[in-house]
Structure 1
Amino acid sequence: MIGMLLSPRRTFGALAAALAGLVLAAGVVPPALSAPSYRTLGQPTTADKTLGSRCPNANARFNFSNDGGFDMYGPAGVAIDPRGRIFVADFGGKRVLTWPDATSLAQCEAADGVIGAGQLAGPEAIAIDAASGAVFVADTLSHTVIGYRLKSGAWKKFVTLGSSGVSGSAFNRFNFPRGIAFDSRGRLFVADDSNNRILIFDPPLQNGASAVDSIYAGSNGGLSSPKAVAIVGDALFVADYFGDRVLRFTGPFKTPDQTYVATGEFRGVGRPVDLTVHPDGSLLVVSQNRPRVSRFQDAAFRPSPVAAPDSEFSNNMGAEPLGVAADRDGRIFIADYRRYRVLIRDESVRTAPVSPGPAAAALVANLRARAGTTLNRVAIGQQLITYEYGPKSDRNAWYRDWSQMKRQGLPLPLMMGGELSDLMSYPGFFPNADARKEMIRHGQAGGLVTLVWHPDNPVAGAPFSTPLPTARLVDMINPATAVGQAWRTQLDRAAAALKPFDDKGLAVLFRPLHEQNGDFFWWGDDGSAGDARRARQAAWVAVWRDMVGYMTATKGLKRLVFAFGTNQVNYDGVVAPMTYYPGADFVDVVSIDVYDEQLDLAGGDRGLQHYAALVGSGKPFGLSEFGQSFGDNGTGADGADWDCRTLVQRLGDSYPRAVFANAWYTTEGNPRFVFALPDVAHTAETLADPLIDTQ
């Protein structure tokens, strides 16, 4: 991609104003936070700042070296993998050190792994390929990016991009590569500093590979010594060092023959040298000549330009902080280069529920606690067929799958699911009162209740399965429009259907507007790119936040637990799960729906990068819908029924922080889609597994 332009300033009118006031208008106020404490890696305490005060163990400290008159101090970059493992680029020591996690670090604890000693010349940045677990290092002084894998207890180099000791401007060369990051498609983005460009490499990465795409400097306000990159969803952030700014580009980046136009500019930073996206959705930027971390809220979608950070902090920092990272719990790690240490700022992502009631708090706490256990970790669920009316005893009605499990002598699921639309009451429509009564009984008996909501299209006559234009999403939060009025009517009906649960003191795991990263619902992704994608993200988030505030503050529901539900990325019409994430203050739980024989999240592969992105939000995670691929009965091997034990395998080997899994119902008709627990194979063994929590 040759050339890079900054998009002209645009006025977004009502949308920008609506976004600016959403927190107050919605009535959802972030909880007050106490001042964060600080810890250190490399130095015994925050008071220790010198070469002589470093921790004594050779692998518990960062080194200083003099390379022919060039002083090389301490750590330059930090990265955290999906498990919480810490990786630090020890620039002065010409190596990477790694620690298990930050939860229980002892003072001067030694790293339990060393990467690249004797191979690296001057590492400045690290990126983790979540799909494979490989660690990539920008070895800036050797003009290479090197990949390492853990093999037989040791970190082994397996791929090198660029040529060691040789700089260049071809697409298979670098000139001081610095920042690196992976996107949701497994592509590697490299900030090629002295070439004033970002290079994009397709997987699988091979020795000497050439970039397939790029974002260049160009002649119209382009990059000037880009030092770092960070990615969330399809939003790419670039630290434009001599421009004293951060530029945002919004993907997808798949048009090498066209110019990618920046969709945002963040000012108020001085010589930005590194950046990362916090689990709360804010952008954190480290400035080299103004030693501090600057924070920009809602960075992925807010209108541009942004003149100044929303907040800053500089506690305990030395004169030259060079790196910043955050883990899923919200801690911030700062590479305090000239003080030979990494500062750990003990922030936390929001854990209090969005709704104010104690029942909601108890459910969120229950789900959060499960992630750290092995016995009964995963609450198993079964979706009711709530659109099938009739008495509970009717084997062909809404309770069919549950009654079948009873007849088979199977343990009953802990979680019971339903469709909110089937519980509504309005002129011309009657609720499934029997199903609602049973769900309330289930909750009162100690079970978990979850409701998904497929709302009607608020645009009269518009199809249910075609994404609305972004302008109509904007109208949804404006009650003065016909679309806004229709949407308010639906919210009122939804609140009325939820009130019986609230009146009984029951928390409900509520999953509205789910699978929005797909293109098959009116509220879904419309396939746009660049600034049109950014504007759609902003509009969608505004709808979600307005809905949350309306349900909790205006309608007074106190026991809703809001689940941000996404879809597996199994074809080109589905974008990265975190693309439309509305922020930590408006979400309690994250989830994904997966229909695949191996429960893979990315079609042909496991898609661990999508799991990592969702878990990286710091919220409890689960499989809100699961089952075999859509197809006729028996899509398992040789036409056999699907082996439900696959769920236990994936929960153990791939999704270790999943805390619930809800099976969908079996559909009738032609074709017949088979998902329900009593209809697939080896359900008894699955429900008896120690990982699975039943009634």
Structure 2
Amino acid sequence: MAEEIGRRRFIAAAAGAIALGAAGGVVLGQQQWFGPDERAEQETKPVAADPSATADAQAVLRWFKQLPTRDSLRVVSGQQIDDITAASYDRFIEALVKRTGRYPAMVGVMVREGWTRADTRILIDHWKRGGLITVDIHPSNPWNPAGGASSAWVKDPKAAKPDLRALLATSDASPPRSAWRAQLEKLGDLVEELGSAGVVVLLRPLHEGNGSWFWWGQDMVSRKTYLRDLYRDVFFYITQSRRLHNALFVYSPGASWDGPALSYYPGDEYVDIVAPSRYDDDLLMLGERRGQSPNNDYKDVVSTGKPLGFGECGPSTKLDGSWDARTIIRRIRENYPAMTYFHCWHGWDDKIMELARNRYTEELMNDPWVITRDKVDWRPENGTTATSTSRQAVVTSAPPTATTKRYTFVRPHVTR
């Protein structure tokens, strides 16, 4: 295990050096990180946090790692839809295609209570046509499950929050724990359903936990939370209890208003990609403007050595369709060259945030740096994927039947 972790840290250090080199203007194409023999070895060794990750998951992660070294086609475009339905896909994705002639490379969805397995068809179709899929969970507060998805936000961010350790697989039974495990099972069902079709999922659990606005976020009284433990619990639930190996794990902090971006970073061995959220008309991360924050969010996330992206992004005040979408790629090109993807949110209420309804989206989607669905090129040149040829198992043993679901609880390695 120590040798395995040491190897990962070496690769992470190399990735971090690439990111910092991009920020400092180094010509990355001329860097020689490995000799020919070492390079061939790196192409076959596992690189994902889950050592049993499918060959396709490993290939997707390697692809993200090398995107900052390119001269063009180096930033994946993404758009969140508001639920997993064909109508939502039409509203946010097909409307974008009608306007620009381009599909976003990545489509994002949120697991909700009403999800059914039949709903995944639109995501599987997007994947089979060359796209990528990212998934997050917006869970109801397990101490207030009757509140539904809206209870994810806390009424008073400064109020004391419950102890998240009560939700862990190894904790004593309780109503909050049961409510949380039921939501976690639904997330596992979606990952499993997508995996059965060969889909690699960029899984973004417990996003923005360094903020105080969600029930799983930072407790502003004690200035801490057990989010690391809960994130690791999700990791072990997916990879070991459910034995699903088609996920890449995305740590997604919020802007550091309440705590630094890496306050609750679960550890390199549990993270594949780091993708903070940022909502700002100029898409400047905290630390860029004098006096705005004592933290430098970009410097912090670069220091992990992981591939980076904007897990969520959009304007902060120009929410009427007047936002210049070209700001995204301009800011990445000029300020944040290590960023490998952007993922625009779908908006809320009457607020316009999606790409299809903002200004200059055509220019953004046709920028030489931007990867649209037709330009995704992580797959082998013959067009087949590792799982389509070898059918590497996503579930390493037969999944439980609908009436007899029983999963092995794996004790997380809790270290703080």
| TM bucket, shorter chain | 0.7 to 0.9
| 2:326 is the alignment partner of 1:645 | yes
Is the CA contact (8 Å cut-off) linking 1:479 and 1:488 kept in structure 2? Answer: no
Secondary structure of 2:346's aligned partner: coil
* Partners of 2:272 and 2:189 in 1: CA distance: 21
Secondary structure of 1:594's aligned partner: strand
* Partners of 1:35 and 1:653 in 2: CA distance: 29
Is the CA contact (8 Å cut-off) linking 1:666 and 1:676 kept in structure 2? Answer: yes
* Partners of 1:494 and 1:372 in 2: CA distance: 34
Residue matched to 2:409: none
Residue matched to 1:364: 61
* Partners of 1:556 and 1:369 in 2: CA distance: 28
Residue matched to 1:404: 95
Larger Rg: 1
Is the CA contact (8 Å cut-off) linking 2:48 and 2:248 kept in structure 1? Answer: no
Residue pairs, 1:261-660, within 5 angstroms:
351-354=47-50, 356-386=53-83, 392=86, 394=87, 397-421=88-112, 429-431=114-116, 433-434=118-119, 436-460=120-144, 463-466=151-154, 469=160, 471-477=162-168, 478-528=171-221, 532-533=222-223, 536=225, 539-569=226-256, 572=257, 574-602=258-286, 605=289, 609-630=296-317, 632-634=319-321, 641-660=322-341
| 2:20 is the alignment partner of 1:83 | yes
* Partners of 1:30 and 1:555 in 2: CA distance: 26
- What do the CA deviations read for 1:564-611 (whole angstroms, capped 9, x no partner)? 011123xx4x31111010000011100111111100112872989211
* Partners of 2:58 and 2:18 in 1: CA distance: 28
Q: Which has the higher contact order (CA 8 A, sep 6+)?
A: 2
- What do the CA deviations read for 1:472-502 (whole angstroms, capped 9, x no partner)? 3121111433322322222112111221111
Q: TM-score w.r.t. structure 1 length?
A: 0.45
* Partners of 2:100 and 2:18 in 1: CA distance: 42
* Partners of 1:472 and 1:482 in 2: CA distance: 14
Shift of 1:438: 0.9
Name the CA shift for 1:30/1:360 in 2 (closer, same or farther; >3 Å).
farther
Is the CA contact (8 Å cut-off) linking 1:479 and 1:485 kept in structure 2? Answer: no
- What do the CA deviations read for 1:54-83 (whole angstroms, capped 9, x no partner)? xxxxxxxxxxxxxxxxxxxxxxxxxx9972
Secondary structure of 1:400's aligned partner: helix
Name the CA shift for 1:547/1:34 in 2 (closer, same or farther; >3 Å).
closer
Q: Which amino acid aligns with 1:365?
A: R
Q: Which amino acid aligns with 1:579?
A: S
**Unaligned ranges ≥5, structure 1:** 1-27, 38-79, 86-98, 106-349, 635-640
Residue pairs, 1:160-199, within 5 angstroms:
none
Secondary structure of 1:617's aligned partner: coil
Is the CA contact (8 Å cut-off) linking 1:628 and 1:674 kept in structure 2? Answer: no
* Partners of 1:659 and 1:472 in 2: CA distance: 35
Q: TM-score w.r.t. structure 2 length?
A: 0.73
Total equivalences in the alignment: 338
**Higher normalized strand content (fraction of residues):** 1
Is the CA contact (8 Å cut-off) linking 2:319 and 2:353 kept in structure 1? Answer: no
Q: Which amino acid aligns with 1:483?
A: P
- What do the CA deviations read for 1:109-139 (whole angstroms, capped 9, x no partner)? xxxxxxxxxxxxxxxxxxxxxxxxxxxxxxx
Name the CA shift for 1:459/1:377 in 2 (closer, same or farther; >3 Å).
same
RMSD (CA atoms)? 3.2
| 2:347 is the alignment partner of 1:662 | no
* Partners of 1:633 and 1:496 in 2: CA distance: 37
Secondary structure of 2:276's aligned partner: strand
* Partners of 1:471 and 1:684 in 2: CA distance: 46
Shift of 1:378: 0.4
Match of 2:4 among 28, 31, 35: 31
Q: Which amino acid aligns with 1:674?
A: I
Name the CA shift for 1:652/1:458 in 2 (closer, same or farther; >3 Å).
same
* Partners of 1:357 and 1:81 in 2: CA distance: 25
Secondary structure of 1:563's aligned partner: strand
Name the CA shift for 1:398/1:385 in 2 (closer, same or farther; >3 Å).
farther
Is the CA contact (8 Å cut-off) linking 1:381 and 1:662 kept in structure 2? Answer: yes
Q: Which amino acid aligns with 1:550?
A: Y
Shift of 1:35: 12
* Partners of 1:35 and 1:492 in 2: CA distance: 29
Shift of 1:688: 1.2
Residue matched to 1:46: none
Shift of 1:660: 0.7
Is the CA contact (8 Å cut-off) linking 1:378 and 1:692 kept in structure 2? Answer: yes
- What do the CA deviations read for 1:235-261 (whole angstroms, capped 9, x no partner)? xxxxxxxxxxxxxxxxxxxxxxxxxxx
Residue matched to 1:64: none
- What do the CA deviations read for 1:440-471 (whole angstroms, capped 9, x no partner)? 11112221111111111111367431268565
Shift of 1:407: 2.1
**Unaligned ranges ≥5, structure 2:** 11-16, 34-45, 374-416
Is the CA contact (8 Å cut-off) linking 2:355 and 2:361 kept in structure 1? Answer: yes
Q: Which amino acid aligns with 1:386?
A: D
Same amino acid, percent of matched pairs: 27
Secondary structure of 1:533's aligned partner: coil
* Partners of 1:592 and 1:34 in 2: CA distance: 25
* Partners of 2:191 and 2:8 in 1: CA distance: 37
* Partners of 1:504 and 1:81 in 2: CA distance: 33
Secondary structure of 1:31's aligned partner: helix
* Partners of 1:613 and 1:398 in 2: CA distance: 34
Residue matched to 1:62: none
Is the CA contact (8 Å cut-off) linking 1:519 and 1:525 kept in structure 2? Answer: yes
Is the CA contact (8 Å cut-off) linking 2:323 and 2:359 kept in structure 1? Answer: yes
Residue pairs, 1:66-81, within 5 angstroms:
none
- What do the CA deviations read for 1:365-398 (whole angstroms, capped 9, x no partner)? 11111122131000101111216x5xx3x5xx44
- What do the CA deviations read for 1:244-289 (whole angstroms, capped 9, x no partner)? xxxxxxxxxxxxxxxxxxxxxxxxxxxxxxxxxxxxxxxxxxxxxx
* Partners of 1:499 and 1:685 in 2: CA distance: 37
Secondary structure of 2:296's aligned partner: helix
* Partners of 2:101 and 2:8 in 1: CA distance: 50
Secondary structure of 1:547's aligned partner: helix
Q: Which amino acid aligns with 1:688?
A: N
Secondary structure of 2:107's aligned partner: strand
* Partners of 2:288 and 2:306 in 1: CA distance: 26
